[in-house]
């Protein structure tokens, strides 16, 4: 059953009463940065914050996160708090400051060089470094202190986000047992054989089982988690009830497929500014009479960007009748650029784009346009609306919100989504053209299928996709988790 923003607000009021809700994540939903002498507020490219901001706008409360913008300190009060969003403040952001050393060890090091590749099967091996692990524990403690400072010894619901904070729930509950905690793991959970290589795997499981509720996007990740606990800990794992009892405490493990604010995206996509941007894009890149394909990603090696470029290359070789008739835009924000693997990825993407363009371009046409920068949401929307097809080719992805944003933007009920089987989203969006990003020939055929799909079929499929996303929207995701959390305490 779908849920509106107003219904979620009501549900939160009924279920939580006057017990406060705290969200804790590494990434903040709003970043303040200097633009000359002015302070500008930016929305980061992160699925997690994009998904949770509408929830907090609806519920109010406190969001604790790392203050990462160079002007973040300029706008906070003496408790490091600022009201957000800036145009219509509806909740409080409390910022935590990290030293460079802490950021390196906890964020770049343990979170993104160990846990991220450990949990994604994308054939990038994790690096485990004891100094990073020590820093990870220290920063988790720092977040714990901020939560305890906000909640004192009162009852509260704490909703913890993601793999940066695996130790948090146990740390805060040891000090304040009246806290009820849920944690959502936004990335896949691998099978036990893959997970057991982590030297501190048991400590991570011990930390996560401090939660009352643990959520993953899909049932498959829940099952992998239960199997991992069974392999590594002395715990009672109940597959039927999907719960673990460990050290006398029970943790429920449940799937909650995350989503987007379907109606807000659909409304914004219809704004005249977006339509104006669509025209500007068409003029600037001369796409009027051409097929337009798009890929929008945080530039990450799990997103299969080189794989899609290779498929596009294959498509152009196999079907030369499309030379001069198709433009593919690869858009996206560089991410984690201080990590070597990400530098390599950026170089690889650049080389591939250069190679493809060199091979096929003419004086007045280039097949691939790479825009590697942070683009405003209205521009992304304009591209979403213009595209004949959108490619999401992740090698492994918890959910993938880009796919759901594309579908939500298509108020014209047109456009084809080409989607990797290895995303959580593929479980729901089965009217997409599903692909294996490693199978280059099949992938190239899928591009042809998308381009040549008859309009009635495109419309029928997009209609069904839109029904799915409208139904399973972000408010339903939040409502399901908060209801479950509150029921544990009632």
Binding site for ligand GDG (CB under 6 A): 43, 45-48, 50-51, 186-187, 258, 296, 298, 332-333, 374-375, 377, 380, 397-402, 405
Tell me phi and psi for residue 450, to 5 degrees: -65, -45
Bridge-partner residues for 40, per DSSP?
Answer: 33
The shares of helix, strand and coil residues in the chain, as percent rounded to the nearest 5, are: 50, 20, 30
The distance of closest approach from Cβ of residue 5 to ligand GDG in the complex, given in angstroms and rounded to an integer, is: 18
> Shortest distance, CB of residue 44 to ligand GDG, whole angstroms?
8
Q: Give min distance, CB of 92 to ligand GDG, in A.
A: 22
Whose Cβ is closer to ligand GDG: residue 116's or residue 315's?
A: 116
Q: How far is the CB of 321 from ligand GDG (least distance, A)?
A: 32
440 contacts: CB under 8 Å, gap ≥ 6: 307, 310, 311, 314
Nearer CB in complex with ligand GDG: 401/481: 401
- Toward ligand GDG, which CB reaches closer, 43 or 266? 43
Nearest residue (CB) to ligand GDG, 210 versus 332? 332
What contacts 137, CB < 8 A, 6 or more positions away?
A: 167
Q: What is the Cα–Cα distance from 91 to 70, expressed in whole angstroms?
A: 22
Minimum gap (Å) between residue 194 Cβ and ligand GDG? 17
- Tokens describing residue 442: 């099949």
Closest CB to ligand GDG among 109 and 257?
257
Least distance CB 393 / ligand GDG (angstroms): 12
Residues 6+ apart with CB under 8 A from 378: 268, 271, 273, 274, 277
Q: Are 144 and 174 in contact (CB under 8 A)?
A: no
Partners of 183 in beta bridges:
160, 214
Q: Are strands 433-435 and 416-420 parallel, antiparallel or unpaired?
A: parallel
Question: Alpha helix (H) ranges present in 233-363?
Answer: 262-269, 272-285, 305-318, 340-360
Least gap, CB of 392 to ligand GDG (angstroms): 8
d(CA 226, CA 214): 11
* For ligand GDG, the closer CB: 125 or 376: 376
Q: What crossing angle do the helices spanning 401-409 and 377-386 adopt, rounded to 10°?
A: 70
CB of 401 to ligand GDG, least distance (A): 3
**Given the complex with ligand GDG, which of 43 and 488 has the nearer CB atom?**
43
Side-chain-side CA neighbours of residue 216 (13 Å):
22
Q: Which tokens hold the place of 233?
A: 């800990």
CB of 118 to ligand GDG, least distance (A): 14
Looking at the Cβ atoms of 190 and 398, the one nearer to ligand GDG is 398
**Closest approach of Cβ 297 to ligand GDG, in Å?**
6
CA–CA separation, 412 vs 329, rounded Å?
20
Residue 374 CB, nearest approach to ligand GDG (Å): 5
Q: Which is nearer to ligand GDG, 51 or 229 (CB)?
A: 51
- Burial group, residue 453, by CB count within 10 angstroms (0-12, 13-18, 19+): middle
Closest residue by beta carbon to ligand GDG: 47
Greatest CA separation for the chain: 71
Show the tokens assigned to 100: 């460079």
Integer Cα distance of 312 and 320 in angstroms? 12
Q: Is the Cβ of residue 400 or residue 472 nearer to ligand GDG in the bound state? A: 400
- CB closer to ligand GDG, 251 vs 302: 302
């Amino acid at each position: 059953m779908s849920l509106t923003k107003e219904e979620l607000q009501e549900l939160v009021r009924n279920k939580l009463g006057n017990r406060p809700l705290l969200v804790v994540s590494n990434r903040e939903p709003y970043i303040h940065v200097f633009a000359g002498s002015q302070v500008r507020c930016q929305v980061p490219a992160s699925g997690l914050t994009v998904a949770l901001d509408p929830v907090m706008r609806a519920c109010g409360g406190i969001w604790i996160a790392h203050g990462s913008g160079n002007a973040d300190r300029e706008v906070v009060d003496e408790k490091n708090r600022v009201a957000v969003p800036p145009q219509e403040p509806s909740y409080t952001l409390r910022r935590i400051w990290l030293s460079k050393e802490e950021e390196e060890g906890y964020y770049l090091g343990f979170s993104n060089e160990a846990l991220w590749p450990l949990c994604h099967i994308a054939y990038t091996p994790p690096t485990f470094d004891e100094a990073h692990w020590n820093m990870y524990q220290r920063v988790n403690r720092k977040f714990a202190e901020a939560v305890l400072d906000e909640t004192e010894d009162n009852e509260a619901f704490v909703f913890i986000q993601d793999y940066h904070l695996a130790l948090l729930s146990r740390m805060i509950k040891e000090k304040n047992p009246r806290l009820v905690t849920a944690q959502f793991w936004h990335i896949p959970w691998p099978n036990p054989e893959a997970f057991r290589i982590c030297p501190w795997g048991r400590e991570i499981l011990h930390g996560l089982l401090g939660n009352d509720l643990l959520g993953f996007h899909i049932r498959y990740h829940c099952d992998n988690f239960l199997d991992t606990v069974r392999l590594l800990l002395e715990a009672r794992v109940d597959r039927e009830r999907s719960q673990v009892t460990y050290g006398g405490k029970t943790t429920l493990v449940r799937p909650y497929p995350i989503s987007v604010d379907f109606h807000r995206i659909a409304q914004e996509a219809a704004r005249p500014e977006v339509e104006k941007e669509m025209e500007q894009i068409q003029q600037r890149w001369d796409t009027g009479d051409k097929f337009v394909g798009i890929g929008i990603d945080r530039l990450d090696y799990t997103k299969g960007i080189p794989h899609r470029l290779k498929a596009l290359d294959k498509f152009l070789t196999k079907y030369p009748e499309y030379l001069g008739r198709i433009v593919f835009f690869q858009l996206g924000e560089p991410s984690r650029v201080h990590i070597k693997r990400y530098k390599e990825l950026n170089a690889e993407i650049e080389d591939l784009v250069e190679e493809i363009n060199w091979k096929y371009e003419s004086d007045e046409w280039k097949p691939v346009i790479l825009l590697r920068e942070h683009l405003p949401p209205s521009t992304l929307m304009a591209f979403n609306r213009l595209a004949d097809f959108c490619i999401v080719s992740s090698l492994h992805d918890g959910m993938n919100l880009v796919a759901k944003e594309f579908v939500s933007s298509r108020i014209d009920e047109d456009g084809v989504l080409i989607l990797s089987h290895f995303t959580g989203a593929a479980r729901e969006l089965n009217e997409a053209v599903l692909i294996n990003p490693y199978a280059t020939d099949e992938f190239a055929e899928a591009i042809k299928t998308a381009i040549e799909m008859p309009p009635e079929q495109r419309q029928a499929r997009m209609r069904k996709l839109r029904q799915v996303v409208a139904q399973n929207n972000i408010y339903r995701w939040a409502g399901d988790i908060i209801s479950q959390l509150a029921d544990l305490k009632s």
